[in-house]
Amino acid sequence: MTVKLVITALSLMFTLLLLENIPQAKAHLDCGNISIPYPFGLAPGCYKDDWFKNECNKITNTPTVFIPSIKAEVLNFSDYKESVTVKGPIKSSGNCPAWKRRSSTSSSNSSTLVNLTGSPFMFSSVSNRFIAVGCNTLGTITEDATLLIGCRSTCGKERGAIEWDDAGFCQAQNCCTTSVQAGLQVLNPSVQSLHKGREDDEDECKLAFLADGEWFGVLEDVRKVEGMEYVPLKLAWVSNFSRDTFDQETVSCGYSSDLMNPSPNTSVVTATECACNPNYQGNPYDPQGCT
Ligand SMILES: *[C@@H]1O[C@H](CO)[C@@H](O)[C@H](O)[C@H]1NC(C)=O
Ligand SMILES: *[C@@H]1O[C@H](CO)[C@@H](O)[C@H](O)[C@H]1NC(C)=O
Ligand SMILES: *[C@@H]1O[C@H](CO)[C@@H](O)[C@H](O)[C@H]1NC(C)=O
Ligand SMILES: *[C@@H]1O[C@H](CO)[C@@H](O)[C@H](O)[C@H]1NC(C)=O
Ligand SMILES: *[C@@H]1O[C@H](CO)[C@@H](O)[C@H](O)[C@H]1NC(C)=O
Ligand SMILES: *[C@@H]1O[C@H](CO)[C@@H](O)[C@H](O)[C@H]1NC(C)=O
């Protein structure tokens, strides 16, 4: 904390000198060719707290990054102003041929519950969309006694035909999408047929998943998801960085709509809130900040 304050207080020129003289502990920041940005990190002292601790799994040829605190596998740490993309579950029902070809570890039966309650992570409401694929299908994000959030699709005239809106999201026919509320931490997707009258509906492969809307927006064929083991899911995070520690000259922080109850007084910031000012580069959350 002292180091952080001292560096923040230094002039830009002095900070640059300092950076040149201190060799970067680059080895702690990378897992294979995935570079891990603060507050995430592999070694003690590199991550902010245990929630952001990572593991580098080098069992396979392409190392993968894992977040043990929430049992999530990282696909990508995007820009600092973005969130972290992890592998998200796909719920299916009916006859999904592609699922049978998969390894025995994944099946349509496996639990698709992701529970982030108590952690600083949440499903990004800004980035993700909930998607249900199938005709006459009801897909729900989570179900508790008071709330049923999801979407329902119709069958449309042509089997499997999908209508797209300008943003690349499917409309009610054979596929539907909805956004999620800010602060969502429990994902337990379910998918079911709305009526059993038509034989072809009952056996149809139906899917429900929460996924990065940008990824989904350019996906050409939603049926491709049938053969996937996971979808990219964006998580936002909060942490108790004090706003005062950010150098206003180099860093700007806004208020993220990913937070359920954004309070102008909160000392907590989310991953989507702070960014380097124009002409500065770096990681705003890192003690070295933007230079
Ligand atoms: C890492 O590098 C290898 C070899 O250049 C490449 O095949 C692989 O796709 C890269 N992985 C990522 C996550 O960028
Ligand atoms: C990963 O993040 C980088 C940096 O933002 C971005 O350029 C790249 O497209 C991302 N890769 C994937 C597969 O999303
Ligand atoms: C899935 O669940 C059903 C019913 O519980 C069971 O009959 C079936 O064997 C399970 N399939 C797998 C692959 O575990
Ligand atoms: C999620 O985890 C919290 C805290 O561990 C627990 O109280 C809650 O029941 C869990 N929710 C579900 C749906 O499992
Ligand atoms: C953030 O929380 C940690 C642990 O609870 C505490 O040690 C630290 O002082 C807090 N930092 C700020 C800026 O509030
Ligand atoms: C917000 O912070 C200001 C200055 O620290 C304080 O005077 C005010 O009471 C705070 N408001 C709330 C709602 O906490």
**Environment class of 154 (CB within 10 Å of its CB; exposed 0-12, middle 13-18, buried 19+):** middle
Task: Kindly identify the ligand whose nearest atom is closest to the C-alpha of 109.
Answer: 3
- Categorise residue 279: left if φ over 0, alpha if ψ from -120 to 50, beta otherwise: left
Give the nearest ligand 1 atom to 76 CA. Answer: 13
Distance 206 CA to ligand 1 centre (A): 33
Q: Which two tokens stand for residue 82?
A: 């973005």
Q: Which two tokens stand for residue 231?
A: 């979808």
Give the nearest ligand 3 atom to 109 CA. Answer: 1
pLDDT in tens, the chain (291 residues): 444 433 333 333 333 333 333 344 444 568 888 889 888 999 988 898 999 999 999 888 888 999 999 999 999 887 665 689 999 999 988 888 755 544 433 444 557 889 999 899 999 988 999 999 998 899 999 866 567 789 999 887 777 778 888 777 888 888 999 998 888 899 999 998 887 655 556 678 899 999 999 999 888 888 889 888 899 999 998 887 877 778 889 998 877 777 765 555 566 777 778 889 999 998 888 888 898
Q: Is the CB of 181 under 6 A from ligand 3?
A: no
